[in-house]
Structure 1
């Protein structure tokens, strides 16, 4: 009897170690960028020592895909994420349920939704004709955007060309989806809503069925 009790105890302990191992594998990878160079990035993974990767190299389930001026794209557990310096991202293998946004058109056929820019509440209208997330100056100021750091550009409008400011939005949130380092355009007359343009939509898979639009996060 004592032998069987001990055997069962060992079996339970062994199973515990196995389950613990699976739990460890299921943990998300926490990745942050601490340095960017030409074709290389310095990554900190799960709080470990900084590691330098060249584009195409991988450490475990984390692969460096692309390096830009102020951000890098990494593939984590098969999913891609664009990370700016000092912006940690956590992606786990069990987070494969891709985040989606479901929108329903209003009586005029417009897709409107509440969201946020840099944490500040914004009313958005989906506009595939807008190259970037666009807003008036008052909305930008409310979101804490310093337009003096932006770049003056010329954009085409229904009334001809206009001078506006190209800025970088720290984060844009719609529903459960938050994207980082999103291009934004500021300027023009006051608007009742901001335009959810292609700098956000390009990172989503868009599917429309009648009056319903589903946006699924690609990376």
Structure 2
């Protein structure tokens, strides 16, 4: 084989090898000053200036996108929606949501109750989606008429409460229908709690300061 053809063949083989070995990089979560990146299936929350899996460095990040340095090349990335197939026959797919732990050590996420915007505090110690009276009134929940009176245990002791049912509770793209809730008399809890009546209906796990939520259906 002439030298020129031999050189060309070697160059093609090298290009193919480099392409096959390229890492698959996705941004699956965006936060001010940090991004959740997925490199060949390895996922991690990486702050700006730090290096994550596969040597990928986060240069900048906000709620709109991130700039990553991959193999020495900087590139802008948008948020990738992650889907895990339920089957190989075109079955429906599961939706995932990544929630970063806040500076106060808690997980907070924007969502909605029956179409009304709500800022949730994720609380695995809460039995249900719970809120105080003022929050319920603001959401238009007529809990004294439609709710079932009960007692609730709080840090301040046992207080009056009402068991209610929400038609739909949504965080990100994950929506759960027919979720049990509680309206607590007084001003506690301060935040609307996303408790186990919702979390038991999805899959969730915590990895390195990131809470992963995944729809079951």
Superposed counterparts of 1:1-219, under 5 Å: 94=90, 96-147=92-143, 148-187=145-184, 188-189=186-187, 191-219=189-217
Query: Contact 2:130–2:189 at 8 Å: present in 1 too?
Result: no
Deviation at 1:213, TM superposition (A): 0.6
Query: Contact 2:134–2:187 at 8 Å: present in 1 too?
Result: no
Shift in CA distance, 192/163, structure 1 to aligned 2, threshold 3 Å: closer
Taking the aligned partners of 1:198 and 1:129, their CA distance within structure 2 comes to 8
| CA root-mean-square deviation | 1.9
Query: Contact 2:151–2:160 at 8 Å: present in 1 too?
Result: yes
Deviation at 1:191, TM superposition (A): 4.7
Shift in CA distance, 142/108, structure 1 to aligned 2, threshold 3 Å: same
Query: Contact 1:120–1:142 at 8 Å: present in 2 too?
Result: no
3-state SS in 2 of match to 1:145: coil
Structure 1 residues 112-141: Cα deviation after superposition (integer angstroms, max 9, x where no partner): 011111111111010011000001122222
Structure 2, unpaired ranges of 5+: 1-85
Q: What TM-score does the superposition give when structure 1 sets the normalisation length?
A: 0.55
Structure 1 residues 131-164: Cα deviation after superposition (integer angstroms, max 9, x where no partner): 0000112222232222111101111112221110
Taking the aligned partners of 1:166 and 1:129, their CA distance within structure 2 comes to 17
Deviation at 1:95, TM superposition (A): 5.4
Q: What TM-score does the superposition give when structure 2 sets the normalisation length?
A: 0.55
Q: How many residues align?
A: 129
3-state SS in 1 of match to 2:94: coil
Query: Contact 1:131–1:199 at 8 Å: present in 2 too?
Result: yes
Taking the aligned partners of 2:103 and 2:197, their CA distance within structure 1 comes to 26
* Aligned residue number for residue 6 of structure 2: none
